[in-house]
Structure formats: C-alpha cells, structure tokens
C-alpha cells in the first residue's frame, strides 16, 4: 500500500530539548515536503526536497532543519524547540511536478511547553 508514515504521531516536549520527527514514503517519490498547520493559517511549507541531498527552505524554515540522505526518508529536526513551534506537522511526497498527486502523512501533533 502506497503511504507516507510519520513518527511519532504525538509528542509533548520541553523548550530546548532537541527532537526529530521521522517521515518515510514507499513510493520512490523524488519530492518530499514538510508543512506545519496552524488554525486559520492553513498549511505552510517548512522545507522541501527535490531529491537525495537536495533540500531548500519553504516559507517558514526558521527553527527547523532537514536532511535527505535516502530517497525514502525526510526527517524534520528541531534543534531547540520553542513554544511557537507547537503545531500539527505533515510530511508529504509526490513525483516531482505532480503535486496534484501529493500523498500526505497522518500528521504529528507537537506540543512544546
């Protein structure tokens, strides 16, 4: 079954404690992306990756890092989380140029206290 998986699904952490949210897809997609969802703001892109070792900033990259060492994985790293990063995070993947067939992960709800 084609899918995008994220872990953990829920996370409560404290300010400054480094964390990683993993994302994995099994469709051999080149394009992967991270979004955060906040009420009234829709989804905003944090980072995207066109392929292995190729990543770039989206609209709200501050406070986040990513890496793409393997095609299937695209982890999101928060080196020093702050309360304003409390949000719902989605990973997504697609064939490059075919965003109309973008697959979204189930989401990770992060709370930073």
Partner 1 sequence: ELKVEQNPLFLSMQEGKNYTIYCNYSTTSDRLYWYRQDPGKSLESLFVLLSNGAVKQEGRLMASLDTKARLSTLHITAAVHDLSATYFCAVDTPLIKAAGNKLTFGGGTRVLVKP
Positions touching partner 1 (CB under 8 A) are 31, 33, 35, 40-45, 48, 50, 56, 58-59, 90, 96-97, 99-102, 104-107
Between 32 and 78, CB nearer to partner 1:
32
Minimum CB distance to partner 1 smaller for 53 or for 59: 59
Smallest distance, partner 1 to C-beta of residue 16, A: 28
- Comparing CB distances to partner 1, the nearer of 81 and 89 is 89
Least distance between partner 1 and beta carbon 4 (Å)? 9
Least CB distance from residue 17 to partner 1, whole Å?
A: 25
Instruction: Identify the sign of the CA torsion 38, 22, 61, 17.
Output: positive
Answer for the pair 3, 25: CB distance below 8 angstroms, yes or no.
Answer: yes
Residue with tokens 């997609």: 29
In 3D space, the residue among 93, 15, 106, 90 whose CA is nearest the CA of residue 51 turns out to be 93
Tell me whether residue 42 or residue 62 sits nearer to partner 1 (CB atom): 42
Rounded Cα distance, 73 and 92, in Å: 11
Of 85, 79, 15, 98, whose CA–CA distance to 44 is shortest?
A: 85
| Shortest reach from residue 41's CB to partner 1, in Å | 6
């Amino acid at each position: 079954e084609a899918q995008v998986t994220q872990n953990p699904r829920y996370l409560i952490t404290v300010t400054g404690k480094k964390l990683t949210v993993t994302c994995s897809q099994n469709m051999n997609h080149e394009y992967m992306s991270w979004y955060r969802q906040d009420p009234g703001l829709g989804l905003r892109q944090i980072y995207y990756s066109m392929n292995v070792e190729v990543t770039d900033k989206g609209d709200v990259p501050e406070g986040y890092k990513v890496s793409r060492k393997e095609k299937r994985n695209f982890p999101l790293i928060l080196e020093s989380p702050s309360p304003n990063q409390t949000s719902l995070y989605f990973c997504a993947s697609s064939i490059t140029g075919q965003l109309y067939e973008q697959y979204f992960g189930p989401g990770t709800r992060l709370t930073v206290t």
